[in-house]
Chain A
Amino acid sequence: MFGIVPKLQQYICAWNFWPAFMKKFMMSEKGPFTIFFWTPLAKWGISIANIGDMRKPVEQVNTLQQCVITLTGLLFTRWCFIIRPRVYNLVLCNFCMAQTGIYQLYRKHSQGKLFTR
């Protein structure tokens, strides 16, 4: 928007001690100065937050939210296989999201609180 990130990218990539592969990675169109690098990490964050929430009591687990996370994870796992190019990182990310959602729902069900808000 204000051109800050390209300027930051040029400034950092101008440092002399970067090895060639690192400079190539930082200047690439899917590198850490682009949104395409950070969006899969954000999706991994959902799975990580869900794993962290497994220590919390089941009353704090939101059934509807976990249903949505599971459904989104499953459908996007399938979607990642049918688009080109296939990005296996995204497949794994969505699959883990679905698995953590299923486990949270199982936790609620095993305590008989699946339908309690």
Chain B
Amino acid sequence: MASKVSGMFWTWVHSSTGPKTTHFWAPVCNWFFPIQALYDWNRDPAKISKEMQCVLVCYSSLFMRWALRISPQSYILFCMHLFNATLQGRLLIRRLTWESSQQKAIEDKPTN
């Protein structure tokens, strides 16, 4: 049993879509997008780029649909883009909320 599993593992390692090829690492590095958004969970809203967050949300939303329309469908890619759209959207909302509170603070400031 152990040798069978080991055989399957090494077959995968040496395969044309295994970890020795770009076919493996390119989708893996795509997962760094949601991981980055998790790492920046408490990022200072003044340091969040609104435009980049908007673009990343749109990018992931479109690619969610793309992952289900390609053949074969890729549910892993769909999940990755779902997480990314949600987490980058959270950062976008964080920034927009902060901008709104800044605007309100300026408006509420008593004028002499």
Cβ of A18 < 8 Å from any Cβ of B?
A: no
A72: contacting residue among B29, B46, B58, CB under 8 A: B29
- Chain A contact residue count (CB 8 A cutoff): 30
B51: contacting residue among A36, A52, A64, CB under 8 A: A52
Comparing A7-15, A19-27, A75-83, the segment that makes contact with chain B is A75-83
Q: Tell me the smallest distance from the CB of A73 to a CB of chain B, in Å.
A: 10
Q: Tell me the smallest distance from the CB of A104 to a CB of chain B, in Å.
A: 10
A72: which B residues are within 8 A, CB to CB?
A: 26, 29-30, 32-33
Assuming the contacts A62-B47, A68-B33, A68-B36, asked whether A79 and B52 have C-beta atoms less than 8 A apart, the reply is: no
Q: Tell me the smallest distance from the CB of A71 to a CB of chain B, in Å.
A: 5
- Chain B contact residue count (CB 8 A cutoff): 30
Distance A75 CA – B27 CA, assembled complex (angstroms):
9
A89: which B residues are within 8 A, CB to CB?
A: none
Cβ of A32 < 8 Å from any Cβ of B?
A: no
Q: Tell me the smallest distance from the CB of B28 to a CB of chain A, in Å.
A: 9
Q: Tell me the smallest distance from the CB of A47 to a CB of chain B, in Å.
A: 9
Assuming the contacts A35-B65, A46-B55, asked whether A68 and B47 have C-beta atoms less than 8 A apart, the reply is: no
Do A49 and B52 touch (CB < 8 A)? yes
Distance A8 CA – B55 CA, assembled complex (angstroms):
25
**Would you mind naming 23 contact pairs between A and B with Cβ atoms under 8 Å apart?**
A35-B62, A35-B65, A35-B69, A38-B62, A42-B63, A46-B55, A49-B51, A49-B55, A59-B46, A61-B49, A62-B40, A62-B43, A64-B40, A68-B29, A71-B29, A72-B32, A75-B26, A78-B26, A79-B22, A79-B26, A82-B22, A82-B23, A117-B47
* Nearest 6 pairs of A and B residues by beta carbon: A79-B26, A49-B55, A42-B59, A68-B32, A75-B26, A45-B55
